[in-house]
Structure 1
Amino acid sequence: MQPVLPPVSTLPKAHLHLHFTGSMRPATLQEMAAKHRIRLPETLREHHLLRLTPDERGWFRFQRLYDAARACVRDADDMRRLVIEAAQDDAAEGSRWLEMQVDPTSYAPHVGGLTPALEIVLDAAREATETTGCQVAIVVAASRMRHPLDARTLARLAARYAGEGPGTVVGFGLSNDERRGDTEEFAQAFRIARNAGLASVPHSGELRGPEHVQLTLDTLQPDRLGHGVRSAENPEVLDRVIQAGVALEVCPASNVALGVYPTLADVPLPALIEAGARLALGADDPLLFGPRLAAQYQAARDVHGLSDAGLRHLAASSIEASRAPDDVKKSLLAEVEAWAGATENV
């Protein structure tokens, strides 16, 4: 008789790579579209999951759909709902600490500016922390598609709300198509954020390879890399990532959906683990890619053959790579150990 394996949703973990609009439940998107009388593209109406080509055409399709979903978030109630529902969904999957990424630029026109937009999100993060069982902090993310001066504005805004616990800004990121823009031109924005004590968490090493990881290390001094998975293609670059203590926010489902790897089995998760990289699995944009956080851990078990000990290692690594306060980390790591004891008795 095969042993009964404990559900990965009961494994305590931290979630460090989840985008604000991309976190939305499909049903919530439908309701918001109806509320604001917006007609959604068929892909979003029918909730067809994406499987794209790894080129600019594929990215354009993804971005078009993401923008269509984002256009349905048009008031403070919508924004609050997204944060609280994301925390509820994370809590149900064992996430005890969530760092949600948001670029307030897109929502600012609807709520009176950048500052009100960020304050709405932070207030919702505090409410979610109190009501859901998942503590929520925020990463302010600039877009590579906008001018680096815009990123500096966002970095200064993020610095004003920098903190160490839930309901504060704990990091500064750089998102969107990493093949666009000049990475080095965003260095000043990241310098502002670092000086405020924020974690540097730019996207790098998914749509571009290890050469861009190296450039990001040189210019943005990251604490974590959004994705970073393609550093596995160059042992020297990967070793540099590991020696610098930079964690990788690996999102296998989105890697496959964007055509970076043909199947989940091709995502080099075992190679990264074997090399000693610090990893945190993430869901990225489940609205478009489908699987949420627990599914990433389930794939690590089913596709890559990780044992319960391997899953515990991943969960502990996600907690250690987070910006949760030390007492929260200690408590969550104790929960992981308790899960370890529980699995031994199954």
Structure 2
Amino acid sequence: MERVRDVSELPKAHLHLHFTGSMRPTTLLELADKYGVRLPEALTEALVSGEPPRLRATDERGWFRFQRLYDAARSCLREPDDIRRLVREAAEEDVRDGSGWLEIQVDPTSYAPRLGGLIPALEIILDAVDSAARETGLGMRVVVAANRMKHPLDARTLARLAVRYADRGIVGFGLSNDERRGMARDFDRAFAIARDGGLLSAPHGGELTGPSSVRDCLDDLHAHRVGHGVRAAEDPRLLARLAERGVTCEVCPASNVALGVYEKPEDVPLRTLFDAGVPMALGADDPLLFGSRLAAQYAIARRHHGFGDEQLAELARQSIRASAAPEDMRVKLLSGVDDWLAAPVG
């Protein structure tokens, strides 16, 4: 058997991780028991068995089912201590997987009703991130994400709030949920507010719909990074544009397969993007529902796409360069990548 370096020891940045979706299965089961929440049977069975639930979000009915499971999990986060626990455990999992920098994505409006309002919810989240970073040594910041299913005015409110709290650890502004609903251009003003406030533009695109969704992120939202972006592989001109501009795609291989975007891990176009020179940052998306965390995405690149250690190291470098980490942190992590690659295989 060929001896290879441990991808969990490869320093990397994690740029695509959703808040509730980062939860440990055992934590969700404990919180559901604590609050008397009856979780959907499909979710409970998956959490107990350790196998991710069967999902397919390529049609609206499938997306609704996925969202139902996600919403059920989110309903178990009710108190500040629950938020602190989730963030600390997410940080611990990332450290275990070799991450030195994590940008966790959250829509604080989803937690506001149980945490005293939008501003208190955001402050609780930011305090939890600050505490987890100190306790674990992980560099950790927040990307605030608007919801495509809500009115664009709500997104503008979130963008102003994100800019207001930029000095507390918010580094980017995103747009999530079903990209088949809500045109990117409807949110252009919100993203302009965020960019003018110094935040990275990181909308979702090119997952459930094709290359046009990625182009909309570039043209209408002036994306620095695109959440997922894998469907850009279907358009060589778009690939060339992403490569030329250095726009990073936050690719989540296990998520793509779990949601039915691609049938098998080897179908995810990692090699197409990489060979076209498109920067990538591999991410776990929602490990709670998809069953694998950050290091596993690098293992997919190795096992199913033939990425050797040199190429895995380059993927890690791309994730670090695309992050909002301060320069000294980037230098440290990039040096760590070189050290990982230089170490003897054992």
Q: Which bin holds the TM-score, normalised by the shorter protein?
A: over 0.9
Query: 124, 129, 134: which is aligned to 2:133?
Result: 129
1-side partners of 2:28 and 2:155: how far apart? 28
- Misfit runs of 4+, over 3 Å: none
Unaligned runs of 5+ in 1: none
Confirm or deny: 8 A CA contact 1:128 1:135 kept in the other structure: no
Task: Report the 3-state secondary structure (helix = DSSP H, G, I; strand = E; otherwise coil) of the residue aligned with 1:208.
Answer: coil
Distance (Å, rounded) in 2 between the aligned partners of 1:53 and 1:287: 16
How do 1:223-234 residues align onto structure 2 when only pairs under 5 Å count? 223-234=224-235
Residues 53, 171 of structure 1: alpha-carbon distance in 2 compared, 3 angstrom cutoff: closer
For residue 88 of structure 1, what is the aligned residue in structure 2? Answer: 92
> What secondary structure does 1:273 align onto?
helix
Q: For residue 31 of structure 1, what is the aligned residue in structure 2?
A: 30
Provide the residue aligned with 2:339 in structure 1. 338
56, 60, 67: which is aligned to 2:60? 56
CA distance in 2 between counterparts of 1:291 and 1:122 reads 25
Q: State the partner residue of 1:316.
A: 317
Cα 1:345–1:216, aligned 2, differ >3 Å: closer, same or farther? closer
- Matching residue of 1:76: 80
Q: What one-letter code is carried by the residue in structure 2 that aligns with 1:68?
A: A
> Could you list the runs of 5+ residues in structure 2 that have no partner in the other structure?
none
- Map 1:223-302 onto structure 2 (within 5 A): 223-302=224-303
Question: In 1, Cα distance between the equivalents of 2:345 and 2:309?
Answer: 12
Partner SS state of residue 4, structure 1: coil
Shift of residue 58 of structure 1? 1.1
- One-letter code aligned to 1:71: S
Q: Which residue, out of 103, 108, 116, partners 2:120?
A: 116
C-alpha RMSD of matched pairs (Å):
1.1
Q: Is the 8 A contact 2:55 2:66 kept in 1?
A: no
- Aligned to 1:154, which of 141, 148, 158? 158
| Superposition deviation, residue 63 in structure 1 | 0.5
- Percent of aligned positions that are identical: 61
Structure-2 residue corresponding to 1:139:
143
Answer yes or no: is the 8 Å Cα contact 1:200–1:220 preserved in 2.
yes
Offset at 1:315? 0.4
Amino acid at match of 2:301: A
Distance, in Å, in 1 between the alignment partners of 2:107 and 2:132 is 19
Asked whether the 8 Å contact 1:51–1:256 carries over to 2, the reply is: no
Partner amino acid, structure 1, of 2:285: D
Q: Distance in 1 between matches of 2:256 and 2:337?
A: 27
**Counterpart of 2:195 in structure 1: which amino acid?**
R
1:81-104 Cα deviation digits (max 9, x unpaired) = 111100000000000100000000
**What is the number of equivalent residue pairs in this alignment?**
341
